Amino acid sequence: MLRRLVLAALLVLPSIGHAESLKRVRIGATPGPHGQILEAAKPVAARNGLDLQIIEFSDYVVPNEALSAGEIEANSFQNQPFLDNQKADRGYKIVGVAPTVNFPLGIYSKRHKSFDAVPNGGTIAIQNDPTNGGRSLLLLQDKGVIKLKAGTGFKPTVADIVENPRKLRFIEVDAAQTPRSLDDVDAAAVNTNFATPAGLKPSDAILKEEPKGPYVNLLAVREADRDQPWVKALVESYRSPEVKAFIDKTFGSTVLPSW
C-alpha cells in the first residue's frame, strides 16, 4: 500500500507546476515603458526556461544598488553612459549584456507651444544626475540654444555652459520629478519612461532628441553572471519578434528597438 502511495506521488510531481522548473530571474526596471516591455517578455522568457519577476524602482539609483547587492539578478532601465558613470562613482561590478531600446529625450512645456516662445531668463528643469542632465544640455546645444565648453563628453554640467544668449536659468531635480516640475518652470527635460506614465505625449515635446548616439538602453547583470546560460536566455527573450511587435504597436516612434 505504501509503495503504491509513493508511486502515485511521484507520478503527480511533474504537474506540481511548470514555474518550479524555471530559473527565477528578478529584474529591476523603472515604471512605464521599461516595465511594460518586460511584462511583454515574460511569456517568451517562460518558454526559454525563465521565471521573470519584475521589480519596479521609482528612481535611477536604486536598481544598480539592488543589482550589485544581489537583491535582483538583472536590470533594464539605463544607457551605457549612465552605467559607466555609476561604475566610476560607486565601483559596481556591473556590465551591459545587450542593447534594448532607445527613448528619445524630450523637452516639454505646459506654458509654451514652442521653445522659441520660452522668454529670456526662463526657467528650464533638467535632471540632477550627471548622465541625464548632461544629455539634456547636449540636446539644447544641438538645437542651438546654448553652447558648452569643448571636451565635456557625454556628461556636461550647467557649469560647462559657455554661451547662454537667452540667459536661461537651469533648475536641477530628480529625473523622476521632472514631469511634476512642469507646473513651476517654463520647460523641463523629461525622459520618455517618466513622460509616458505622467500622461505626456513624446510627440508634444517642444524639443526632441534625434534617435541616435550612445543613449540606447541595455540589459545589465553582474560581471560574475555575464556568461551564465540564463543571461543568454534573457537577452533572447527580450530581443524576440514578439517583444519587438509589442513595442512597435504600443509605443510607435517614441520607443525604438535596437534590433
Residue 59 pLDDT: 87
Residue 13 pLDDT: 40
Residue 46 pLDDT: 98
User: Tell me: the pLDDT tens digits for 101-122?
Assistant: 988 899 999 999 999 999 999 9
Provide the residue count of the chain: 259
User: Tell me: the pLDDT tens digits for 185-235?
Assistant: 999 999 988 998 899 988 899 999 876 678 899 999 999 999 999 999 999
Q: What CATH architecture applies to the domain 106-208?
A: 3-Layer(aba) Sandwich (3.40)
Give the DSSP letter string of 211-236. Answer: S-SS--EEEEEEGGGTTSHHHHHHHH
d(CA 214, CA 220): 16
Residue 253 has pLDDT above 70, yes or no: yes
Q: Report yes or no on whether pTM surpasses 0.85.
A: no
Give the DSSP letter string of 103-129. Answer: ---EEE-SS-SSGGGSPTT-EEEEESS
Q: In terms of C-beta density within 10 A (0-12 exposed, 13-18 middle, 19 or more buried), how is residue 140 classed? A: buried
Percentage above 70 pLDDT, the chain: 92
Same fold, 17-103+214-257 and 106-208: yes
Percentage above 90 pLDDT, the chain: 78
Cell numbers representing residue 27 in the block: 529584474
Mean pLDDT taken over the chain: 91
**Confidence tier at 250 by pLDDT (50, 70, 90):** very high
Do the bridges between strand 161-163 and strand 147-148 make them parallel or antiparallel, or are there none, so unpaired? Answer: antiparallel
Classify residue 207 by its DSSP letter.
E
Do the bridges between strand 217-222 and strand 94-99 make them parallel or antiparallel, or are there none, so unpaired? Answer: antiparallel
Do the bridges between strand 106-108 and strand 187-190 make them parallel or antiparallel, or are there none, so unpaired? Answer: antiparallel
Residue 160 has pLDDT above 90, yes or no: yes
* Residue extents of the structural domains in the chain: 17-103+214-257, 106-208
**Confidence tier at 96 by pLDDT (50, 70, 90):** very high
The answer to whether the CB of 30 falls within 8 A of the CB of 127 is no
Is the domain 17-103+214-257 a CATH 3.40.190.10 member?
A: yes
**Confidence tier at 5 by pLDDT (50, 70, 90):** very low
d(CA 225, CA 233): 13
Residue 3 pLDDT: 40
Residue with the bigger pLDDT between 5 and 28: it is 28
The answer to whether the CB of 78 falls within 8 A of the CB of 214 is no
d(CA 49, CA 68): 24
Residue 142 has pLDDT above 80, yes or no: yes
Residue 6 has pLDDT above 70, yes or no: no
d(CA 204, CA 180): 16
Residue 176 has pLDDT above 60, yes or no: yes
Residue 144 has pLDDT above 50, yes or no: yes
Residue 18 has pLDDT above 80, yes or no: no
CA distances from 179 to 109, 137, 164, 231, 250 (A): 10, 17, 24, 34, 21
User: Tell me: the pLDDT tens digits for 29-83?
Assistant: 999 999 999 999 999 999 999 999 999 999 889 999 999 999 999 999 999 999 9
Helix (H, G, I), strand (E, B) or coil at 154: coil
